[in-house]
Structure 1
Amino acid sequence: MERAAADTHDVIEVRGARENNLKDISLDIPKRRLTVFTGVSGSGKSSLVFGTIAAESQRLINETYTAFLQSFMPSIGRPDVDALDNLSAAIVVDQERMGANSRSTVGTATDTHTMLRIIFSRIGTPHIGTSGAFSFNLAEGMCPACEGLGRVSDIDVDELVDRSLSLNEGAITAPNFAVDSWYWRVMAESGLFDPDVKLKDFTPRQWDDFLNKPNTKLKIGSHNINYEGLLVKVRRLYVDKDRGTKQAHIKAFLERAVKFAPCHECGGTRLNQAALSSRINGYNIAECAAMQISDLAEFIRAITDAGVAPMVATLSHTLDSLVEIGLGYLSLDRESGTLSGGEAQRVKMVRHLGSSLTDVTYVFDEPTVGLHPHDIERMNNLLLRLRDKGNTILVVEHKPETIQIADHVVDLGPGAGSDGGQLCYNGDLAGLRASGTLTGRHLDHRARLRGQVRQATGHLPIRGAGLHNLKDVSVDVPLGVLTVVTGVAGSGKSSLIHGSLSGRRDVAVVDQSAIRGSRRSNPATYTGLLDPLRTAFAKANGVKAALFSANSEGACPTCKGIGLIYTDLAMMAGVASVCEECDGKRFTAEVLTYKLNGRDISEVLDMPVAEAAAFFPHPILDRLTDVGLSYLGLGQPLTTLSGGERQRLKLAIQMAEKATTYVLDEPTTGLHLADVDQLLALLDRLVDAGNSVIVIEHHQAVMAHADWIIDLGPGAGSDGGRIVFTGTPHSLIADSDTLTARHLRSYVDGGTF
């Protein structure tokens, strides 16, 4: 009897989960095992794993802190579930981009730079002080000229002024300096120069006062004012403030006016001369941080001083883990904000590999994103290592290579959105294969090579490409066909294609950058569908179109058109509750009396794309269906969309543009095996309509389906940056021995993943 009681603690018990589209599901998830959650996009995987299990674990941990500490934590509401038992502390390792703080680097994010600093402080010669003397984020180590940023901003004066005009004629073109504005008056009435004289006729002294005079008290009439030169004021008002909080027109101005260059004093290394003078085996700490991580690992292993042996061993282990996880091509001085979602997730993962914690629940969101099949194998080994330390591993994943190593599989579906949220299968891998579910049927599915490839109608020439690690690459990208650009992570694929083709006329780039938008933005607003929809409602009811916008006149006055009321509970975590005035419908009662074909505007915005297409036919809805987003709700906030969903939403919009060449960056991200076939059909339709499609991709099904393959490598970082194969997929398999060729050959031959 006691044994049976103990067994109940070996599973996470989920009872009655209803978060988002989950339909009251209950299941047991084994602890200290690797469980993979599968299902089509929108089936409810994230709602179960992140929105229910991880959210409740983190909420319960937060509740153990004092109310004062909780006031500084993000608000986590209780998920909609009857019961969750036997939870352990959950650590979420997701694809959220790391902060764009320029002081955060791969080295600081993984603590490897801290370990490197300690080693230099112990055995670097000459000895210059403690580890703080080697930190660009501390006063004792940072370069005084750039304050540890490694670059200095230079303002283009001609983006601030028109020298051919006088102040009275509006010579200052910087934001908020219009004639008769307060900032303008301080300049024009300072008495330092004549406001009727054109700037080009200022004396050298006047020009210097106009631009560079430091903050000085001046008397204008009966008023004392603080005067500062235009460059000084613009730098203080706009450049030195956090860019994330600026208005769009200010950001646009800064993009034009502010140029960054490497700091002349430290050469971009961020450190002062003392820190740069200390060396180990001929290298200073900045040169070590700039090394490719795989090379740095070799350098660190060569340090034999017994005084730092424990630190060398720890640092070597972390660097080896970064190499093993497929990030050996990065350097420690790479800014965190420049990492892709997949790279950021793997950097976060490294922090946990050396952790002494056990019996923790680790939650991963598609950890194979951005990985070549060669690297997926290494990622799988790391997941298994974390499990074998006694942890519970929950992975949301589509790649069969990772599903294959699962101890347990939870398959959700059968469809997406309102057609999903049901438990289709819960058990071992063999049972999944025999289950007949969509995932089970597609697990061993292989895309075939084309019987006959399409012939190019021309070429886009790329000549002498040298961006990042590219080594003077020249290649002709065929037009009128489906071209797949592949190679291991860090081989130079994005550098070659984005660096050479972005900005060319008739080229539409659909990349992985996030969609900008607040919780008010949704597919209807983002695609422009809301405008004809509002017009149709207005025409049918003889009223203004503005009434049918939740961001305009028709918005519920209580919740301001959001549908939720956010309540600040001071020291306690804030809560969001459905607006009682509009019952979450976002519009006033009057607006909801107006109908179009028997439906009010809130009912239409609640429709998924597929239903909306039948109710209100429009080309954009057809394109959303084409890219596999038929389940998305028209009014679903963009902030709730996955990375793959956002990219396909952008693709649907780009398909309406007048581009003839489409560049897609890993479009299979977030796609179920069954959806990949639908994507391939869409790519074929684009090509057959006379377009050229260039896809940066690792998925073997996409490679097999290509007309032409450009393979970069042979490795990553300094070991990559070369073209190692160009030709048809058939030629790649038959004649090449690159990493891509080996994996594609195994895939087509039906070998195990």
Structure 2
Amino acid sequence: MPKKTEIIILGPVIRGKKGEHRGTLEEIQRAGFVRVRIDGIIYRLEEALAKTLAKYKKHNIEVVVDRLVLDKELDKSRLVDSLETALKLGKGIVMVNNLVFSEHFACEECGISLPELEPRLFSFNSPYGACPACQGLGEKLEVDPKLVIPNLNLSIAEGAIFPWAHASHKIGRQGFFWWKLEELAERENIDLYAPIKNLSKEKIDLILYGDNNIFEGVIPWLERRFHETESEYAREEIEQYMVEKKCEICKGKRLKPEVLAVTVAGKSIDQMVETEINKLKEFFEGISLVAEAKPYLPPHPASRGSAKEKNSFKIAQPIIKEIINRLQFLIDVGLNYLTIDRKAATLAGGEEQRIRLATQIGSKLTGVLYILDEPSIGLHPRDQGRLIETLKKLRDLGNTVVVCEHDAQTIRAANIVIDIGPGAGKHGGRIVFQGTPQELLKSHTLTGDYLSGRKGVRHVSGTCQALASPKCSRWNLEQYLIIKKAAEHNLKNIDVKIPLGKFVCITGVSGSGKSSLMNDILAKALMRKFYNSKEEPGKYEKILGTEYLNKVALVDQSPIGRTPRSNPVTYTGAFTYIRDLFSKTKEARIRGYRPGRFSFNVKGGRCEVCEGQGVKKIEMYFLPDVYVQCSECKGK
């Protein structure tokens, strides 16, 4: 407001309520106040009491607490006292002229209330901030119509509606579900004996989603049963027909709408996390904190505000400084292209390693021993240098970094090298060298010979020619697998043409989109086509050439087993033949032992103390579970 402006401080006591409100006016007079404002007009209390308000009309009544003029001689203590009095009268609301101010986290015009802003509100892992519809996951399990009716060539009488045909255990004209469908068919003139594909879309939708009247619909019935049942078996049965889809309420952003409405420098939290790390750092560097209570766009970093503006919100300065530092750590390890909301499961191996290292550098711990097991796995040679620089920064903070590695770049960058060998398995287990990389080059160990160039890998030129030769392929040279408009994560609407029957290598720097193309798009799309997988593929337009294939196998770095019983022999199936061999021995035949007797998965053969696991699990409650060797079978 300009100087010399007269302001009136008012305490609202009646807001949009019908009645004469005489009792309220008398109470205000007894409290010692002189004037009130009724429906925008100021009256002395004697005049207001003499006036009769329309009983069935809504009125606004505010107590005039004080009149002040904004100038240098303004009594600030008087201003504060008047505001406190007005807030008390208005129960947390005060008016200055026609401006409304409130202590409540609510809009005084429309009545929408908000919780007090605190850090947990901005976390989708907290019930205070998570979207209530998807519990902060951004995705919801929903019934997929394609899984409910997998075969459009079948009729309803033949069991086209698979969940109901399966649930009743009777396909055809029997059971409760058939009776419900027959009732619907009679009312809506639906042919239960015609293939589903011959029915109109309206009739199929009626069967699937119901009519909100008599017939509930297959999908609403499944979803209701899924949420209401206490049976884990029933829930697992229904999950067969469900897929994960983006939450319709939060649009996959995982937070409550009121949280997403909060902005800093014109950006909400979901807009920030969707921004690439390097651009996000520029955004925070460009924020000029000014004491304005409205959204604003940050100025360019070159055009900073005045010293007064820079000191306005001092409380935010250390927070922004820390954010910029953390983002810089990620940029230093070459992750400037990532967005903050990228799911950990979709990160490449090299990206995951470097994020962990950046976290450790950000913690600035000293005197720590860091042990890394082959951190170069999955890294492009260009990115290896960045990884080494990160390891050196970790060391320079005053820590010890021990790396188990066979990458030549990493070995040369180390201060000390310990070479264990000389061979593998029973031929290893001894220290054959300890010293600097320069000393290793002069040593006559196997590692030293290869590192110095005295020995090398012999390349057989015929191998490459054989792999490229058409004679090695049973495929037609014109057969290709073509991925159109691939756009998942870092991919920029690319078209990829993969020749079939060839040895094809997809390469590129870490984070360039190799895993997104192969694992997230191609593998998931083919798994869905051939095996009816429920996993949603990444973004692409279409895939051509799948008619030349009949199966797909995904081989990645995920563990081969889920329990302590798993091992390479059980995974490959070789243990079946080993059990058969032992069951045919003389002693086994005398005792009547069958192959199952030699299985650690079956009662009678396994150790019952550990149930064939070889280890006992000790629950640590707030800590990860601990496994110890079984005292009975000694892990055998």
Where on the TM-score scale, by shorter chain, does this alignment land: which range? 0.5 to 0.7
1:289 and 2:273 equivalent? yes
Per the alignment, residue 251 of structure 2 pairs with 267
Q: Is the 8 A contact 1:159 1:174 kept in 2?
A: no
Q: Secondary structure at the match of 1:137?
A: coil
Per the alignment, residue 597 of structure 2 pairs with 547
1:143 and 2:131 equivalent? yes
Q: Is the 8 A contact 1:174 1:253 kept in 2?
A: no
1:156 and 2:144 equivalent? yes
Q: Distance in 2 between matches of 1:155 and 1:285?
A: 31
Q: Is the 8 A contact 1:408 1:427 kept in 2?
A: yes
Q: Is the 8 A contact 1:465 1:496 kept in 2?
A: no
Higher relative contact order structure (alpha carbons within 8 Å, sequence separation ≥ 6): 1
Q: Is the 8 A contact 1:342 1:370 kept in 2?
A: yes
1:439 and 2:444 equivalent? no
Percent pairwise identity: 33
Q: Is the 8 A contact 1:175 1:250 kept in 2?
A: no
- Residues 153 and 427 of structure 1: CA distance in aligned 2, closer, same or farther (over 3 Å): same
Q: Distance in 2 between matches of 1:462 and 1:525?
A: 36
Which one-letter code corresponds to 1:387 in the other structure? R
Per the alignment, residue 242 of structure 2 pairs with 258
- Write the mapping of 1:309-324 to structure 2, written as runs, cut at 5 A: 309-324=317-332
Q: Is the 8 A contact 1:293 1:329 kept in 2?
A: yes
Q: Distance in 1 between matches of 2:258 and 2:552?
A: 49
Q: Is the 8 A contact 2:422 2:432 kept in 1?
A: yes
Per the alignment, residue 163 of structure 2 pairs with 173
1:362 and 2:413 equivalent? no
Q: Is the 8 A contact 2:375 2:405 kept in 1?
A: yes
Moved more, 484-493 or 194-203: 194-203
1:576 and 2:576 equivalent? no
Per the alignment, residue 426 of structure 1 pairs with 434
Q: Is the 8 A contact 1:165 1:171 kept in 2?
A: yes
Q: Distance in 2 between matches of 1:535 and 1:410?
A: 45
- Write the mapping of 1:32-51 to structure 2, written as runs, cut at 5 A: none
- Residues 404 and 199 of structure 1: CA distance in aligned 2, closer, same or farther (over 3 Å): farther
Q: Is the 8 A contact 1:326 1:375 kept in 2?
A: yes
Per the alignment, residue 466 of structure 1 pairs with 486
Per the alignment, residue 337 of structure 1 pairs with 345
- Residues 139 and 200 of structure 1: CA distance in aligned 2, closer, same or farther (over 3 Å): farther
Q: Deviation per CA, 1:612-657, whole angstroms, max 9, x where unpaired?
A: xxxxxxxxxxxxxxxxxxxxxxxxxxxxxxxxxxxxxxxxxxxxxx
Q: Deviation per CA, 1:676-712, whole angstroms, max 9, x where unpaired?
A: xxxxxxxxxxxxxxxxxxxxxxxxxxxxxxxxxxxxx
TM-score between the two structures when normalised by the length of structure 1: 0.49
Q: Is the 8 A contact 2:561 2:571 kept in 1?
A: no
Q: Is the 8 A contact 1:297 1:319 kept in 2?
A: yes
Per the alignment, residue 701 of structure 1 pairs with none
Moved more, 334-343 or 444-453: 444-453
- Residues 381 and 396 of structure 1: CA distance in aligned 2, closer, same or farther (over 3 Å): same
Q: Which of 386, 403, 419 matches 2:411?
A: 403
In the TM superposition, what is the alpha-carbon distance from 1:579 to its structure 2 partner?
3.8
Per the alignment, residue 474 of structure 2 pairs with none
In the TM superposition, what is the alpha-carbon distance from 1:198 to its structure 2 partner?
6.2
Q: Distance in 1 between matches of 2:249 and 2:425?
A: 56
Structure 2 residues without counterparts, runs of 5 or longer: 1-113, 188-209, 290-309, 471-476, 527-545
TM-score between the two structures when normalised by the length of structure 2: 0.57
Q: Deviation per CA, 1:30-76, whole angstroms, max 9, x where unpaired?
A: xxxxxxxxxxxxxxxxxxxxxxxxxxxxxxxxxxxxxxxxxxxxxxx
Per the alignment, residue 507 of structure 2 pairs with 486
Q: Is the 8 A contact 1:165 1:199 kept in 2?
A: no
- Residues 565 and 259 of structure 1: CA distance in aligned 2, closer, same or farther (over 3 Å): closer
In the TM superposition, what is the alpha-carbon distance from 1:392 to its structure 2 partner?
1.0
In the TM superposition, what is the alpha-carbon distance from 1:158 to its structure 2 partner?
6.9
In the TM superposition, what is the alpha-carbon distance from 1:359 to its structure 2 partner?
0.8
Q: Distance in 2 between matches of 1:570 and 1:283?
A: 40
Q: Is the 8 A contact 2:480 2:499 kept in 1?
A: yes
Q: Is the 8 A contact 1:288 1:296 kept in 2?
A: yes
Q: Is the 8 A contact 1:171 1:199 kept in 2?
A: no
Q: Distance in 1 between matches of 2:583 and 2:355?
A: 51
Q: Distance in 2 between matches of 1:559 and 1:145?
A: 41
- Write the mapping of 1:68-79 to structure 2, written as runs, cut at 5 A: none
In the TM superposition, what is the alpha-carbon distance from 1:399 to its structure 2 partner?
1.2
In the TM superposition, what is the alpha-carbon distance from 1:461 to its structure 2 partner?
4.3
In the TM superposition, what is the alpha-carbon distance from 1:407 to its structure 2 partner?
1.0
- Residues 412 and 282 of structure 1: CA distance in aligned 2, closer, same or farther (over 3 Å): same
Per the alignment, residue 621 of structure 1 pairs with none
Q: Is the 8 A contact 1:409 1:427 kept in 2?
A: yes
Q: Distance in 1 between matches of 2:156 and 2:579?
A: 46
Q: Which of 298, 312, 329 matches 2:282?
A: 298
Per the alignment, residue 534 of structure 1 pairs with 579
- Write the mapping of 1:672-691 to structure 2, written as runs, cut at 5 A: none
Count of residue pairs the alignment pairs up: 425
In the TM superposition, what is the alpha-carbon distance from 1:194 to its structure 2 partner?
5.6
- Residues 127 and 289 of structure 1: CA distance in aligned 2, closer, same or farther (over 3 Å): farther
Q: Secondary structure at the match of 1:404?
A: helix
Which one-letter code corresponds to 2:599 in the other structure? S
Per the alignment, residue 519 of structure 1 pairs with 564
Q: Distance in 2 between matches of 1:175 and 1:513?
A: 36
Q: Distance in 1 between matches of 2:504 and 2:442?
A: 36
Q: Is the 8 A contact 1:456 1:479 kept in 2?
A: no
Which one-letter code corresponds to 2:255 in the other structure? L
- Computing the radius of gyration from Cα coordinates, the structure with the larger value is 2
Per the alignment, residue 278 of structure 1 pairs with 262
The two structures, once aligned, show a CA RMSD in angstroms of 4.1
Q: Distance in 1 between matches of 2:412 and 2:165?
A: 57
- Residues 263 and 560 of structure 1: CA distance in aligned 2, closer, same or farther (over 3 Å): closer
Which one-letter code corresponds to 1:549 in the other structure? S
Per the alignment, residue 412 of structure 1 pairs with 420
Which one-letter code corresponds to 2:485 in the other structure? A
Q: Deviation per CA, 1:591-616, whole angstroms, max 9, x where unpaired?
A: xxxxxxxxxxxxxxxxxxxxxxxxxx
Moved more, 339-348 or 321-330: 339-348
- Residues 492 and 568 of structure 1: CA distance in aligned 2, closer, same or farther (over 3 Å): closer
Which one-letter code corresponds to 1:206 in the other structure? I
Q: Distance in 2 between matches of 1:568 and 1:139?
A: 26
In the TM superposition, what is the alpha-carbon distance from 1:322 to its structure 2 partner?
1.0
Q: Secondary structure at the match of 1:511?
A: coil
- Residues 304 and 188 of structure 1: CA distance in aligned 2, closer, same or farther (over 3 Å): same
Which one-letter code corresponds to 2:432 in the other structure? C
Q: Is the 8 A contact 2:348 2:511 kept in 1?
A: no
- Write the mapping of 1:65-144 to structure 2, written as runs, cut at 5 A: 129-144=117-132
- Residues 477 and 293 of structure 1: CA distance in aligned 2, closer, same or farther (over 3 Å): same
Q: Secondary structure at the match of 1:304?
A: coil
Q: Which of 382, 386, 402 matches 2:390?
A: 382
Q: Distance in 2 between matches of 1:331 and 1:265?
A: 22
- Residues 200 and 511 of structure 1: CA distance in aligned 2, closer, same or farther (over 3 Å): farther
Q: Distance in 1 between matches of 2:406 and 2:237?
A: 39
- Residues 140 and 196 of structure 1: CA distance in aligned 2, closer, same or farther (over 3 Å): closer
In the TM superposition, what is the alpha-carbon distance from 1:377 to its structure 2 partner?
1.0
Q: Is the 8 A contact 1:170 1:179 kept in 2?
A: no
Q: Deviation per CA, 1:501-539, whole angstroms, max 9, x where unpaired?
A: 533526543222332331111121111111222222333
Q: Distance in 2 between matches of 1:413 and 1:346?
A: 29
